[in-house]
Amino acid sequence: MKLYSQYLSANSGAAESDASPMVEMNTTPLIDVLLVLLVMLIITIPVQLHSVNLDMPSYQASTVEPEVVLVQMDAAGFLRWNAELVPDIASLNMRVATSAAMSVQPEIHLRPSSDTPYAFVAAFLVMAQKAGLTKVGVVN
C-alpha cells in the first residue's frame, strides 16, 4: 500500500506540504443566486416608485378654421372671387399672392363650369402653385 501512495504522490506533482485540504469556497453559485434575488426584487417593486412626477403645463391648442374662398370660372374665362368679378389677371395675381402670404392660408375652392376649357383651369392652378398656395381644390 505504501508503494501505491508513493506512486500517487510522485505523479501528482504536488509536494507533501501542498497536501493540506482546500479551504476556498466557490462563490460563483452564490453570486448567481444573489443576482436572481436582485432581479426579483426590482420586478416586485411597485411601478409607482419607478415613476417621475412632472408638472406639465396645460395647453389648449386653438383651432383656427381657414377661410374658404370660392373661385368660379366660366367658359369665357371670367373669374369670380367669392362672387366678386375679377377684372383682369393682375388683380387675380394680387389676390392669390395676398392669400398665400396669410399666416393661415385660406382654402381655395375652384369651381369651373362644365364647358370651361382645361387650359383655363390649369393656368389658375399653376398661378396658385407659384404663389405658394397649398390648399387648392377643384369642386363641383
**Tens digit of each residue's pLDDT (9 = 90 or more) over 66-123:** 899 999 999 988 999 999 999 999 999 999 999 999 989 999 999 999 999 999 999 9
Half-sphere exposure of 45 toward its Cβ, with a 13 Å CA cutoff? 9
Q: Is the pTM of this model over 0.95?
A: no
Domain that holds residue 103: 68-138
37: in domain: no
Alpha carbons 105 and 34: distance in angstroms, whole number? 65
What pLDDT does residue 20 have? 76
Residue 15 in this model has a pLDDT that exceeds 70: no
Q: Could you tell me the three cell numbers for 101?
A: 402670404
Q: Could you tell me the three cell numbers for 137?
A: 381644390
49: in domain: no
Q: How many domains does the chain have?
A: 1
Instruction: Indicate the residue type of 49.
Output: L
25: in domain: no
List the one residue out of 116, 123, 37, 110 whose CA is nearest residue 68.
110
List the one residue out of 79, 68, 75 whose CA is nearest residue 102.
68
In the chain, % of residues over pLDDT 90: 55
